[in-house]
Amino acid sequence: MRVAVVQHDIVWEDKDANFTRLAPRIEQAAATGADLVVLTEMFSTGFSMRTDVIAEPAGGPSSQFLVDRAAAHGVWVCGSCPEVHDGSERPHNTLVLAGPDGTVHRYRKLHRFAYGGEDRSFAAGDERVTVDVEGLRVSLFVCYDLRFADDWWALAPDTDVYVCVANWPDTRRSHWSALLRARAIENQAYVVGGNRVGQGGKLAYVGDSAIVDPLGEVLAGGAGGEALLVADVTAERVAEVRADLPFLADR
Q: What burial class does residue 236 get, using C-beta atoms within 10 Å of its C-beta: 0-12 exposed, 13-18 middle, 19+ buried?
A: exposed
pLDDT at 88: 82
Virtual torsion, Cα 238, 239, 242, 248, nearest 10 deg: 90
Beta-strand pair 36-38/76-84 = parallel
pLDDT at 87: 77
Does residue 27 carry a catalytic annotation?
no
Residue pLDDT, tens place only, 82-101: 999 887 889 999 999 999 99
Residues 6+ apart with CB under 8 A from 127: 107, 108
Query: Is the alpha carbon torsion for 36, 65, 9, 90 positive or negative?
Result: negative
Query: Is the alpha carbon torsion for 123, 127, 133, 138 positive or negative?
Result: positive
Listed as ranges, residues in the chain with pLDDT below 50 are none
pLDDT at 89: 87
Length of the chain: 251
From 41, 56, 83, 118, the catalytic residue:
41
HSE-CB at 59 with a 13 A cutoff on CA atoms is: 3
Q: Cα–Cα distance between 39 and 46 in angstroms, integer?
A: 12
pLDDT at 185: 98
Q: Report CA-CA distances (Å) from 48 to 5, 118, 161, 220.
A: 22, 9, 28, 29
Does residue 164 carry a catalytic annotation?
no
From 15, 83, 109, 118, the catalytic residue:
109
From 15, 78, 83, 143, the catalytic residue:
143
Alpha helices in the chain (DSSP H): 15-31, 51-54, 61-73, 118-121, 149-155, 173-187, 235-244
Does residue 15 carry a catalytic annotation?
no
The SS3 call for residue 72 is: helix
Spatial contact of 48 and 13, defined as CB atoms under 8 Å apart: yes
Residues 6+ apart with CB under 8 A from 13: 45, 46, 48, 50, 53, 54
pLDDT at 139: 99
